[in-house]
Structure formats: C-alpha cells, structure tokens
Structure 1
Amino acid sequence: MFLLLFLLLGIMQAPVAPKNRLEFLNTRPPPNYVAGLGRGATGFTTRSDIGPARAAPDLPDRSAAAVGAAGPSGVGRGRGKGPGEEEEEEEAEDKGYDENQKFDEFEGNDVGLFASAEYDEEDKEADAVWDEIDKRMDSRRKDRREARLKEEIEKYRASNPKITEQFADLKRKLVTLSAAEWDSIPEIGDYSLRNKKKRFESFVPVPDTLLEKARQEKEHVTALDPKSRAAGGTETPWAQTPDLTAVGEGRGTVLSLKLDRLSDSVSGLTVVDPKGYLTDLKSMKITSDAEISDIKKARLLLKSVIQTNPKHPPGWIAAARLEEVAGKIQTARDLIKKGCEECPKNEDVWIEACRLANPDEAKAVIARGVKAIPNSVKLWMQAAKLEHDDANKSRVLRKGLENIPDSVRLWKAVVELANEDDAKLLLQRAVECCPLHVELWLALARLEKYDAAKKVLNKAREKLPKEPAIWITAAKLEEANGNTSMVGKIIERGIRALQREGVEIDREAWMKEAEAAERAGSVATCNAIISNTIGIGVEDEDRKATWVADAEECKRRGSIETARAIYACAIAAFKSKKSVWLKAAQLEKAHGTRESLDALLRKAVTYTPQAEVLWLMGAKEKWLAGDVPAARHILQEAYAAIPKSEEIWLAAFKLEFENHEPERARMLLAKARERGGTERVWMKSAIVERELGNSSEERRLLDEGLKLFPSFFKLWLMMGQLEERLGNFSQAKEAYESGLKQCPNSTPLWLSLANLEERMSGLSKVRAVLTMARKRNPHNPELWLAAIRAESRHGSKKEADILMAKALQECPNSGILWAAAIEMAPRPQRKTKSSDAYKKCEHDPHVIAAIGKLFWHDRKVDKARTWLNRAVTLAPDVGDFWALLYKFELQHGTEDQQKEVLKKCIAAEPKHGEKWQPISKAVENSHQPVEAILKKLVVALGKEEKAAEDNKH
C-alpha cells in the first residue's frame, strides 16, 4: 500500500525535476564542504592546487550563507566572529594598537601612533634642536675618534710595512756599488716553461681545397721599388708565387741566372755590381690586396680623365705618378710622353717628364720642352739644374736670356755664377732689360766704385722714384766712403722726395731698415733714419711713452745703436725728464763704455740738477772705476745743487767708509746729525762706531736715536745686539722687549728675542715667545718657520710636523714654509710634497730652489742646474740662492760655468738672504767684496750639511 502511494507521488512530480536540479547546481557549496565525504571519500590536492610550499592565506568567505549570517548591519562581513576573535578585538582595544598590523622598519610598532596629528613649526624647531645636539655630541667625540683611528693606522703600518719601506735602506746602499759590480749582477731568465706538462697534440691533414683557397686569398703582387730602378736597377718580371717562402728560395736562383747572363764571357769580368743588385732585390715592395684594389680604381678614374679631356695636363701628371707609385716606371714614362704630345705648351708636363726620364734622357726631354715653350723660365732653370758644370749652367741661362731678356730670375741666376767683372757687365745689361727691378740696380751699385755707384743710384732713382731702398743705399754709400755729414741730408731729402711722390712713410718699416743698417755696420745711416722718422705718426702727448717702448724693444732684440738713437731723440725732446735720462744711462751702463756713460750723466745733471739718482750714479761709476777723488768732486757738486738731500750725505759717507776713511765718515755723519738727519743717519753713525769697536759711543748714539725715533725697530735691534755681544743678556732682553712695545709688528725683533730666550731658558720659553708673536702678527710665515725649527732643533719632530701642518693651513701660499716642508718630509714623500708646493707657489724662488736641491740629491745634474738658475733669475737679490748654485757648479760644473756664476753674482750684488746676511753684516766682513762673502757662505753650507749628516747617523 505504502509502496504504491510512493510510486504515484513520484509520477506526479516527474515534470518539475529538471528545475529543482538546476537550482541546486547554481548554489554555492557550504563552507569546508568536501564532495563524497559521507561515502568515505577523503579528496586529494596537487602542486598546482597549493602552488609554492607555503600556506595559503585565509581569504574571507564570500558565500551566500556567510553574507546572510552577517545580518543587515554588515558586521562580520564574510563570516561570523567566533568567541576567540571577539576576545582578540577586546585585547587590541585595550592596548591601543593591533599587533598583527604591518611592522614599519623605521618607526617600529609606533607607526601611525600620531598619524592623525599635524606637523607644525614647533615640531620642526624641536627636530632642528635635536639635530644640533646630535651634531654637537658627535663633534665632541670627533677628536678622540680621529686620534684612535690614526693610532690604529700607525700600528697597522708599523706591523705591515710596505715593500718600498722594507727595502729603503738597501736601495740607499746601491749608490756604493761600482760599475763592475752592477755588470756582475746576473740577468733574470725565464723559467716558466720548465715545469709545464706537455699536453697531447694531434694534427689532422688539411684538405687540398682549403689550401688552394688560402693560396688564392694570400696571393701577393711583387715589384721592384722605382727609386732603386731609377738609380740603376733593372726591371725584373716576377711571376705570382704561392707564398713568401718560395720567393726567398727563388731569389738565389734568379740572382745566379742574371749574373751569368750579364757577365762578360771573354774577359771573365762581370759588368754588374752584385752588391748593388742585392740592394735592388732588398728594395722589393710587396703590395697588399687593398692597395692593388685602390690602384686599379684610381687607374680607371685617371684613364677616364685623360681620355675625355686629353688636353688637361694635371690628368696626365696624376696618371704618370700613379704608375710610378705602383712600381711601373716604364708605363709612367710612356704616359707622360703622351702627355707631352697632347699638351706641348704646358711647362709642368715637361718638368714631370724630365723628372721621370732616365738621367741620360732628361736633357733631351728638357731640350724638347724649351723648344716647345721657349719663354718658360721654369724650363730654362730646370735645364740649368741638369748641368753639372758652372760654365754649362751659365751657357744654358744665357741662352734662356736670349729668349726671355726681361726675366729677373734668370738674370739673378746667371749673375750668381759669374765672376765680379762679368757680373758687372751682366748687371749693366740686366738693368737695361729690367729697369724697374730695384735689386738689380742695388747689386750693380755695390759692384761699382764710388763715383760710378753714385751715377747708378741716380739713374735708379730716376727710373724708380718711389723706392726708398735707393735712398738708404745712397746713404750707406756715403757713410762707407767717410762722408758721414751727407748721410743725414740724403735721408732727409729722400723722405721729402718720397712724400712728394705720394709714398706713405711707414714708421715701423723705417725702424726695421734702421736695424738692418745697424747690422750692416752703417751706424750713421741708422741714426739718420731714426732721427728723421721716429716722430712720424705719433701724437705729441704719446711721444715719450712710445719712444721709450720702442727703445726697450730694440734693446731686447739686440739693436743697441737703434735704441741709443731713439733715446737721443727722446732726450732732445724731453731734456728735463729724469726718467728718460735714467733709461738712457741704464742702456749705456749695460752696453756702452765708462766714458760714454760719464759723458751722458754729465749732460743729464746739467739739464736735471735736482735728480739725486743721476748724481749718485755718476759718483758710483767713478768709484767703481777707482777714481775716488772724482767721485768726491761729483758728490760735492751734488751737495751744492741739492743741499738738503740726505741721500747725497749718505752716499758721501759710504764712499769714505768703504774706502777706509772712518774719520771722514764720522765727520760727515756728525754734520748730517747737526742738520737734523733722519733715523738712517743715526743708524749709520752707530754702525761706524760698532766697526771701530767703540761700544760706549755706539750705546750713546743708539740712546739718542731711540729718544728721537722710538718707532724705528732697527735701532732697538742694534741695541739688543750690542748687549748680546757684551754678554749682558738681561739688558739685551730688556732692549728687545722695549722695542716690541714700540714696534709690535717687527718680525726681526721677535726672532731675536726668541733666539735669546733659547740661549737663556730653553725650548719652553721660546714656545711662549713665538706663540705670542704669532698672536700679534697672524699669517706671518717667518714666525711659524722659527717655531718649527726650534722644535726640530730640540728633537721634537712630531710637534714640528704638527706646527708645519698648522702653518700651511694659515699661510698656504708661503714659499719658505713649503720649502721647509719639502726638506722635513721623509725621502720617499719629498717628490709628492714638492709637487704640491709647486702647484701652490709656482713662481716662488724658495720652492724652485728646494726642488733644485731635490734634483741635486738625486744626481739629476741638468735638471738641478735648470731649477737653481730659475731661482737666481727670480730673486737675484737673495744671496742664499747664488751660494747654492755656486756650490752645485763646484761639484758638477766646469771651470767656465763656475766663473760665469761668480760673474753674475757680482753683477747682481745680493743684499738679502737668511744665511747671507749674518755673514755679510758681520763686523769682520764689513768691507769684503761679494765674491769673498759668496765663498764663505759656500763653506758654511758645507759645514751645515756635514753636521746634519752626522746628526742623522
């Protein structure tokens, strides 16, 4: 009954079954549903399902059931919260942050703590304050950190020295090796191949096709060099060879065949030179494939040129030269021969044909050329070059003149080959044929005698009225014959005549003519040209500066007479200008005689009696000439002209003092003091008493001078030196300190006080004095150098290095400091230090001299000489550099070089120098000449160097 009812119900519901089944398939499965789990199926996963070996993230459940469970408010979107999750949310709310959020690597878990707050100006200011605090704390620790780092580096370098430092002592000992010991050192062989294992090598025969292809690619075209062929070689056809080895093997066979064929079988003597033939074979040129391709292309192009335009000479010349380069000399000759036939009126083609022809045929070729173009000067000159005898050359040139009588070039060439008589006749004919060429007229005038030369020049002037060279030559002619009075008139008349003809007088060109006349020995002509043309085109207000500049330029070029003539014109125009007289006097002193200088100075003081320097120069020249009475007379005249001049008083004192007349010097200085002399008069008075040994009088004069001139530091310095000589160190210290109160910026006073304190109290007191001096006088390199040397003398090398670094920071452009730094640096570092010094002080003489000494110690003689010469050129007044150069020449120079240095030093008269002044100003050396002081300084330098070496060892 129940079964029947169930079947009826099934039949009634059958039509709606597909719709229910469709709705079921469209719904999403419940969470964590596994199909067939109720039947015992467990399911499985693959690598494609899970991807890499890591757990998949928990994605939110977006199923319909989950959405429905969320409720209308949307809380718990995706799925509902379990009791554990609710507890975690409550815990996160208590803490104020979520532990599961992303960790920030800069701010940690506090990111977003104040994310909602604004960053205002107060926050910015606070951050800036904290940054400054951080920087301040870091700077406080910087010195300790750098010191610790430096100590660690020094320890590391001490424990791990460089290779160069390890072998430095051994390298220094290499200077003791003799030449024989150097030669006995064995050469280093190559032992790298001894222990190499021989690897197995197999060789496979190469196919014949590959060899044939390689032979075709590497074919060479060989030809003899055309130069060797032109020198007598024969053209030998060479077949193409497989490689260069076959060429070398066949060379001997070809040589024997040639010699056999060309030998004389009757007499047994050969008619060829085997050595010359070998030279021809060695001159064989091997042309590469690329060159052959380029030659072929050029040959095709030039062939097209000469075929399309056979009357174009450059095409034939280029084609012939191409064949010459390709080694086909006969083809080149044939081409240029055709070119001569096609272009018989072109001289370049004939000259090229003459060049390419055999020496025996060249004359015939050029003969055909001059026959075709009889008016070509180039062809006649080429024909003359082919002749080897002067007579034949002259004959060819005269024949050319028959065809071209107006050719100046041919006339010059034929005159050069003729003797004097024939040349005169030729020039007479030449000026008839070429009357407008001035060189021929001048050449004829030079060959003629005086009267005939005047007639020739007159005729030349008629033919060429605008030519200035004729007037200059006429002036030289008169000067050569002793008529110097006519020279100026001729130049003056010539300039007027040229101006009438409309010729512009170029002042610069006429000055060059004056210099040329001076070089030719025509001084009067030079003076006449300058006096008549120096003012042309120069404004009145610019004359003085322009003329002095012109004279100095002529002096630089070595045209002394021209410069003297310009100064003579300037003196005549500006008689009261002291500067012009002084320039002229300097020129006479350098290049004139004592008599000419004395005459000029006498004339100068006549026009400018108030010029002290001219009076003093005249007196000094008389003194140097040994005429002391004449020097006294000049100074008396100068005193009469300028009675209030202190320079003249001091010059008179020096004249008497240097000539061992102390009483006269005393009297002159006493009169100068009575007349109210300056501080220099008091200083000179104390110097006289110091030399005479009158200490009490010297002290009295210094006391009087210091009362009158308390700010003159030299008087304080002399007072302190006086007390030091007498052994009164405390009074000397008091004098120096008193002087420093009056003159706190005087470097010599500070240095003298420091030296005295070093003798009395030692290093600590010296440091205090020099520190105070540097505070009073910042940026003073001399004070820094004194402190550095004081530390070095007492063995404090580290402190000296620290002071040197500070000194170079404060005075980065000081030459004396850089020179001392080079000397203090260790030997391996001196090159780098000298490079840095040269970059900072490129033109400082102290740095230049220090680099020269470095080259000297390295035995680079030529470089050392060059740099030391540069030093004395930059500072000729510093005696230390002259002593270095003279000592160097004594060791490495010749006797002539030593004399030259001595001569230049005497002429420079050095007055300064750290080591020069103590010797030159010593009482025992007060009247010694420059030569004696230089030699004493060289001896002192040798002793210092020896003492330094002893201390080092």
Structure 2
Amino acid sequence: MATTIPGSLVNKKKKHFMGMPAPAGYVAGVGRGATGFTTRSDIGPARESTDLFSDERHAPPKKPKTDEDGAPIDEPDQSEDLNDANYDEFNGYGGSLFSRDPYDKDDEEADEIYEAVDTRLDERRKDYREKKYKEAIEKYRKERPKIQQEFSDLKRQLSYVSEEEWSGIPEVGDARNKKQRNPRADKMTPVPDSMLAMASQYGQTGTSMDPRIQSGMMTPLSGTMTSINSGLLTPGWRTGVQTGVSTDLDLRKIGQARNQLMDIKLSQVSDSVAGQTNVDPKGYLTDLQSMIPQHGGDINDIKKARLLLKSVRETNPKHPPAWIASARLEEVVGKLQVARNLIMQGCEQNPKSEDLWLEAVRLHSGDRAKSIVATAVRSMPLSVRIWMKAADIEIDVAAKKKVFRKALEHIPTSVRLWKAAVELEDPDDARILLTRAVECCSTSTELWLALARLETYENARKVLNKAREHIPTDRQIWLSAARLEETRGQSEMVDKIVDRALTSLKANMVEINRELWLRDAVDAEKATCRLTSQAIINNVLAIGVEAEDRKHTWMEDADSFVAQEAFECARAVYAHALQTFPNKKSIWLRAAHFEKNHGT
C-alpha cells in the first residue's frame, strides 16, 4: 500500500546551489564572524622534502639552454640557500655573487689593506671607547650599587668566624605575637564640646557643679519629658537646654577652657613634689621638641642595622669595628648614652684596640674623657695616638707639657711626640729638648735641622756635621749647611758644599733627581739664599740631559722658573747656557728679553 507524501515536502522548491562546488576563497559563516580552518583532508597526506608533486613528476624534462654554437650555458641558481651550513665567513653564502670567482693575489692584498685600515681606526678609537665605557660603568655602579656592597666591610670580617661559631648563630625569627606583628591604628576620639563647656565652668567655680547638671540629676528617669519652662533638663539629652537661653557654643570660651585645663595640670605636676620636680611649665614643649631624633633615615633600616651589628658583636666580640659601628649608629639616631655604653663594653672586650679607646674618648667629654684616656694609657702605654689624644683633651699648656714628658719616657723614639713637645716650649727649652731628641731619634732630619736653626753659627756647623754622619743620604742637610754659610757671608763655601754634596750622595748610591734639586733651588731663592740657588743650578742643570737636548731643555727650565717668579734661578740658567753655548744667537736674545722684563 503506497503511502502519501505530504504536499508541503514534495512541492518545496529545490535550491540551485545544492551539490555544486563552493567558489574559490569561500569560508562558511564568514558573514557572522566565523573563521576558516584547514584540515589534512584539504591539503592531502604529508610528503618528504625530496618528493615531487604530481605536476612536476609527469612534466617533460627541461632542455638546457645553448649558445649559437650549441654549447650549454650555465644559468645562475635562482633560489639562494640561506642555511647556516652553507655560510662561509670569508665568501658569505654559497649562492653569492663572487663565490665562483677565483681568489687571486690582488684580492688577498686588497683584503690585507682593508684589514690594516680597520685595525688602525679601531686603535685610534680604542682609548676613547674604553674610557667612555669605564665612566659609564662607574656612574651606573655609583647610582645603583649592588645589595652585597652595602655591608661589604662587615661581611668581609665573617671570614674569621669559625665553623663552630657559625653553627651557633641563632636563627632570626619574628617572636612577637600577632597583635604586635600587625598593630592596629590608634583610634583618636575628639572630646565633645559639652565636656569642654563643663570644664570651663569647673575652672571658674572651683569644685562646685553646674546647677543645671544638679537639676538634671534630680530629674526622675521616667522617660517622659518635663516642662521646658521649669528649666529642668530632659532625661537622655547630652546638654541641658533652658527656655530663653541660646544653644550656640562660644568657641573662644572653648579655647580658654582648653588652656585653663593645661595650666591646671602643669601646676598640679609642678607642685606635687616640692624641690624634686623635673617639669618646666614654660619650656615643656621645647623639651619635647628636642627629644625628636634628628636622623632622617628609615626606622626599619635602623632596626635591621641594629640586628646585624648585634649579631656581629655576639659572634665575634673581639672585632673592634663592630663595636665602633654600633656606637656610631646609636649616635646618629640620637641615643648618645646607648652609644657610650656600647663603646665602653667594646673597650672591656678589646683593651688593646687603639681605635676603640679613641672612639670612647670622642664620645665622652670633660673629666669622664680624661679618666677613659688614663685607662687607655695604662692598657697601651706604647701607643702614640693615645698619648696625643691625652694631650689634646687637656686645656692647660702646662698639663699638655706634662703629658708629653710622660709619653716620651715611655716612647723616646717617637718623632711625632718630640715635635709636638718642642712646639709648646720656648726657644731655650726647645733647644734642650731637641738636643735630647736627636740622641733618641738620630735618623730624623727634621729634628737635626730644627736644632741647627736654634743654635749659634759654630754650634750649628757642629750639629750639621753630626747630622751628615748619622744621615749620609739626605740632601737637605747639605743644602742647610750651604744656606748657613751664605747667611754668614761665606759665599766661597756655598759652591764647594753643593759640589761636595753631589759627590757624597753619589758615593752613597743615592740617585740624583734633577727635578727635586731644581725645586730646592726655588725654595732657596724664596728664603733669600740667592747664592745657594745659583750653585744648585750650576751643578745640577746638566745632570740627566742628553747633549743634543741641552739647549731646548734649559730654555724650558728658564721659562718654568719665570712662571714660578724665581727670577734668580732663571738668570742662573741663562748664564750657564751662555757659558756652554756662547755662539747661540737665540739664547742671547732670550736672555736680553728676560733682563728687559725682569732685570735692569
């Protein structure tokens, strides 16, 4: 039995594009935002790189191109292989333009020339480039230092910590409870104006209460409102309101009440314990201002530094820099007494440390500093720095002299102590001290010369002769002898002493430094010893100068003396040059020009 198909399905018109291939580039649903994709069924199975496509596999073979004679023509490869395996540092990639050309001798010579030019240019810029790079690195490290550089001086001392001490360092943990770790902000509740109004009444009437408050206290707490005309307060109100009275508060009176409260409290505190109070009502706020620490750093950084320094002190208590750093940290943050206590603990742990004792004396003042330096002297009687500090803190000159005398009994070979002690004495006592000083410190040129300056002419000659015996390698003793003879009018002895000085120093294997001797000539001229400076120049000018360079070098020396305003030295240089080169016209002209500007 045949079934009947509904007409709505049979009569429906068939779409014309059903079963037809999609147009090129068509993507289904692209109008409503869909995106196309490609599957393997669209592009076919995978192939090897050497496999040919079907069109190439069945295509006829290409015929090679030939010239008119029939010879094949080499065609350049159109596809360039840019693989790294096909790259040569000299020729480039395999498909380059000149890869097939021969590399002859001319090419090699050209490459060598280009390489030499590049090397030369690089050398010219090398110093500037390295200097620029070094400055940039230093500027960067100065602006942004590394974290490990912050406490490098302290961490460097950790190399002395033993393995047992290192294992015994406790772990630093936050032992505080939760409330201390996460503190809540303080809640500040302002005082209501009604309390200030009450306080103003309290300050005016003594201990009597406000009659409105008394009436409010007698009002029955029934919760019902009483008559406003009766003048009583309504229960539950904060302030009493009467009929006919203004409800506005006077801010001026409120300020006066606040001041009265402060005066009452200060007077009660100042009168509580007679003669034992430490509160100054007038300077109270000033004292509070002075208690503010003047350090502007972060408080967290200070706490971290304290913990670190405490760990270093406990780990190695025999390390003086740790105690000094701790004391200076407390001094910076304004806790001077804590710094003093720390430095004294360090002195107890390290009684043989000069730096600790000096820091302790610096942190203390007055008699306390004197007692500390006395203890330091007993612990280290051979320390020159501590003796000098002991003399510095004394105010009286007689006390300073006494300290230096005591110090020289313990350290008679200290030139620094002898010089400091001599500076405090008058010439006669200084001569006596220097006589003893040159016996104890016979190798100090300064002490010998100071003694010679204080002695008479005959005794000074003897002193300088003894100084030459003890110090045969010092030129200053010879030059002082030459100056001494010049001041006494013995001009013929000056040149002999300088010549003998050069001979003696060369015999004692001393190098004659020409620059130093010329500098001594300038010093002699400034000391009004003209003959000594000329003798030095005549004997030293030719030392260390080649024969062909003498004229040029000597003219430069003369210009240098003129720039230093040592005109006698320059005149001596021109005189010596004219004796050596009497036929040089240029030297005569320069000497005449010099005399015209600086002579007669």
TM-score range, shorter chain: 0.5 to 0.7
Match of 1:553 in 2: 560
Match of 2:314 in 1: 307
1:357 aligns with 2:364: yes
Select 1:319's aligned residue among 308, 320, 326: 326
1:488 aligns with 2:476: no
Match of 1:569 in 2: 576
Match of 2:464 in 1: 457
Q: Any conservation in 1 of the 2:391–2:403 contact (CA below 8 Å)?
A: yes
Match of 1:529 in 2: 536
Match of 2:422 in 1: 415
1:467 aligns with 2:474: yes
Aligned to 1:482, the other structure's residue is in SS state coil
Residues 198-277 of structure 1 mapped to structure 2, 5 A cutoff: 215=186
**Per-residue displacement from partner, 1:138-172 (whole Å, max 9, x unpaired)?**
xxxxxxxxxxxxxxxxxxxxxxxxxxxxxxxxxxx
Match of 1:540 in 2: 547
Match of 2:398 in 1: 391
Match of 2:16 in 1: 28
Select 2:343's aligned residue among 336, 341, 348: 336
Q: Say if 1:22 and 1:439 are closer, same or farther in 2 by CA, change over 3 A.
A: farther
Q: Say if 1:317 and 1:576 are closer, same or farther in 2 by CA, change over 3 A.
A: same
Post-superposition offset of 1:591:
1.6
Q: Distance in 1 between matches of 2:455 and 2:279?
A: 56
Post-superposition offset of 1:287:
6.6
Q: Any conservation in 1 of the 2:387–2:403 contact (CA below 8 Å)?
A: yes
Post-superposition offset of 1:360:
2.2
Match of 1:437 in 2: 444
Q: Say if 1:260 and 1:318 are closer, same or farther in 2 by CA, change over 3 A.
A: farther
Q: Distance in 2 between matches of 1:290 and 1:271?
A: 31
Post-superposition offset of 1:587:
1.6
Q: Distance in 2 between matches of 1:409 and 1:263?
A: 56
Q: Any conservation in 1 of the 2:293–2:333 contact (CA below 8 Å)?
A: no
Post-superposition offset of 1:292:
2.1
Post-superposition offset of 1:273:
11
Q: Distance in 2 between matches of 1:253 and 1:486?
A: 93
Q: Any conservation in 2 of the 1:263–1:271 contact (CA below 8 Å)?
A: no
Q: Distance in 2 between matches of 1:261 and 1:498?
A: 86
Match of 2:148 in 1: none
Q: Any conservation in 1 of the 2:294–2:334 contact (CA below 8 Å)?
A: no
Q: Distance in 1 between matches of 2:266 and 2:531?
A: 74
Post-superposition offset of 1:585:
1.5
Q: Any conservation in 2 of the 1:345–1:373 contact (CA below 8 Å)?
A: yes
Q: Distance in 2 between matches of 1:323 and 1:411?
A: 37
Q: Distance in 1 between matches of 2:467 and 2:299?
A: 61
Q: Say if 1:544 and 1:353 are closer, same or farther in 2 by CA, change over 3 A.
A: same
Post-superposition offset of 1:280:
6.0
Q: Say if 1:389 and 1:578 are closer, same or farther in 2 by CA, change over 3 A.
A: same
Residues 32-431 of structure 1 mapped to structure 2, 5 A cutoff: 215=186, 283-286=290-293, 291-431=298-438
Aligned to 1:461, the other structure's residue is in SS state helix
**Per-residue displacement from partner, 1:618-657 (whole Å, max 9, x unpaired)?**
xxxxxxxxxxxxxxxxxxxxxxxxxxxxxxxxxxxxxxxx
Aligned AA for 1:461?
Answer: R
Aligned AA for 2:299?
Answer: I
Q: Any conservation in 2 of the 1:507–1:533 contact (CA below 8 Å)?
A: yes
Match of 2:506 in 1: 499
Paired residues in the alignment total 368
Q: Any conservation in 1 of the 2:514–2:544 contact (CA below 8 Å)?
A: yes
Aligned AA for 1:526?
Answer: S
Structure with larger RCO (C-alpha < 8 A, sep 6+):
2
Instruction: State the percentage of identical aligned residues.
Output: 53
Post-superposition offset of 1:258:
9.9
Q: Distance in 2 between matches of 1:421 and 1:341?
A: 43
Post-superposition offset of 1:404:
0.4
Residues 670-819 of structure 1 mapped to structure 2, 5 A cutoff: none
Q: Which runs of 5+ in 1 are unaligned?
A: 1-10, 31-47, 52-211, 218-247, 594-953
Aligned AA for 1:333?
Answer: R
Residues 931-942 of structure 1 mapped to structure 2, 5 A cutoff: none
Q: Which runs of 5+ in 2 are unaligned?
A: 19-28, 33-182, 189-258
Q: Any conservation in 1 of the 2:485–2:491 contact (CA below 8 Å)?
A: yes
Select 1:478's aligned residue among 450, 470, 485: 485
**Per-residue displacement from partner, 1:695-725 (whole Å, max 9, x unpaired)?**
xxxxxxxxxxxxxxxxxxxxxxxxxxxxxxx
Match of 2:200 in 1: none
Q: Any conservation in 2 of the 1:551–1:567 contact (CA below 8 Å)?
A: yes
**Per-residue displacement from partner, 1:826-865 (whole Å, max 9, x unpaired)?**
xxxxxxxxxxxxxxxxxxxxxxxxxxxxxxxxxxxxxxxx
RMSD of equivalent CA atoms: 3.9
**Per-residue displacement from partner, 1:333-368 (whole Å, max 9, x unpaired)?**
111111111000111111111111232211000000
Post-superposition offset of 1:260:
8.1
Aligned to 2:390, the other structure's residue is in SS state helix
Match of 2:72 in 1: none
**Per-residue displacement from partner, 1:115-139 (whole Å, max 9, x unpaired)?**
xxxxxxxxxxxxxxxxxxxxxxxxx
Q: Say if 1:371 and 1:290 are closer, same or farther in 2 by CA, change over 3 A.
A: closer
Q: Any conservation in 2 of the 1:468–1:494 contact (CA below 8 Å)?
A: yes
Aligned AA for 1:533?
Answer: V
Post-superposition offset of 1:283:
3.9
Aligned AA for 2:497?
Answer: I
Match of 2:596 in 1: 589
Q: Any conservation in 2 of the 1:262–1:272 contact (CA below 8 Å)?
A: no
Aligned AA for 2:390?
Answer: A
Q: Distance in 2 between matches of 1:286 and 1:381?
A: 33
**Per-residue displacement from partner, 1:10-54 (whole Å, max 9, x unpaired)?**
x8xx58989xx8898655189xxxxxxxxxxxxxxxxx9x99xxx
Q: Any conservation in 2 of the 1:262–1:271 contact (CA below 8 Å)?
A: no
Match of 2:515 in 1: 508
Q: Distance in 2 between matches of 1:586 and 1:474?
A: 35
Q: Say if 1:263 and 1:504 are closer, same or farther in 2 by CA, change over 3 A.
A: farther
Q: Distance in 1 between matches of 2:564 and 2:447?
A: 30
Q: Say if 1:412 and 1:568 are closer, same or farther in 2 by CA, change over 3 A.
A: same
Q: Say if 1:335 and 1:262 are closer, same or farther in 2 by CA, change over 3 A.
A: farther
Q: Distance in 1 between matches of 2:264 and 2:367?
A: 31
Q: Any conservation in 1 of the 2:295–2:333 contact (CA below 8 Å)?
A: no
Aligned to 1:465, the other structure's residue is in SS state coil
Larger helix fraction of residues? 1
TM-score (norm 2): 0.56
Q: Distance in 1 between matches of 2:403 and 2:477?
A: 32
Q: Distance in 2 between matches of 1:564 and 1:527?
A: 9
Post-superposition offset of 1:586:
1.7
Aligned to 2:351, the other structure's residue is in SS state coil
Aligned AA for 2:308?
Answer: L
Q: Any conservation in 1 of the 2:494–2:531 contact (CA below 8 Å)?
A: yes
Q: Distance in 2 between matches of 1:25 and 1:403?
A: 130
